[in-house]
């Protein structure tokens, strides 16, 4: 079992853009900087119909290196989300491209998603 810190570091390493990207000129074009990072939160259930297959899909998207047994962890998290109205972070310190991908996929599942830029 890995610690939370090891997990977060591994996730950052796996989802970060490789170094060597060309730097952009500051032209106020409104485009985000390449090094911006985001957290992806599930803030509501919406039309999501929880099933083992849906939980497995979420696990494979967010935690691909974890065992199938971790699906029960996600199930417990969704129960807390549903019962207590808590937010559930499923993407931490991810690049913009991955954050938008998560947002799109989770919205398609019927979940209410919030993408927040990390300061």
**4 in a domain, yes or no?**
no
- pLDDT the model gives residue 37: 93
pLDDT 10s per residue in the chain (119 long)?
Answer: 455 665 555 556 555 544 444 343 444 455 555 678 999 988 888 888 888 888 888 878 777 777 666 677 777 777 777 777 778 887 888 899 989 998 999 899 888 899 999 98
What is the distance between the alpha carbons of residues 10 and 70, in angstroms, rounded to a whole number? Answer: 17
**73 in a domain, yes or no?**
yes
Looking at the 3D structure of the chain, how many domains does it have? Answer: 1
**23 in a domain, yes or no?**
no
**69 in a domain, yes or no?**
yes
3-state secondary structure labels for all residues of 19-85: CCCCCCCCCCCCCCCCCCEEEEEEEECCCCCCCHHHHHHHHHHHCCCCCHHHHHHHHHHHHHHHHHC
**38 in a domain, yes or no?**
no
Which structural domain, as residue segments, surrounds residue 91? 52-119
**15 in a domain, yes or no?**
no
**1 in a domain, yes or no?**
no
């Amino acid at each position: 079992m890995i610690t939370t810190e090891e997990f977060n570091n591994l996730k950052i390493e796996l989802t970060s853009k490789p170094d060597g990207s060309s730097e952009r000129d500051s032209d106020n074009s409104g485009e985000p900087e390449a090094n911006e990072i985001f957290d992806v939160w599930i803030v509501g259930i919406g039309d999501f119909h929880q099933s083992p297959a849906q939980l497995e899909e979420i696990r494979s998207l967010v935690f691909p290196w974890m065992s199938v047994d971790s699906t029960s962890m996600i199930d417990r998290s969704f129960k807390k989300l549903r019962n207590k109205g808590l937010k559930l972070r499923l993407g931490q310190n991810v690049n913009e491209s991955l954050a938008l991908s998560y947002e799109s996929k989770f919205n398609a599942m019927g979940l209410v998603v919030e993408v927040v830029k990390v300061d």
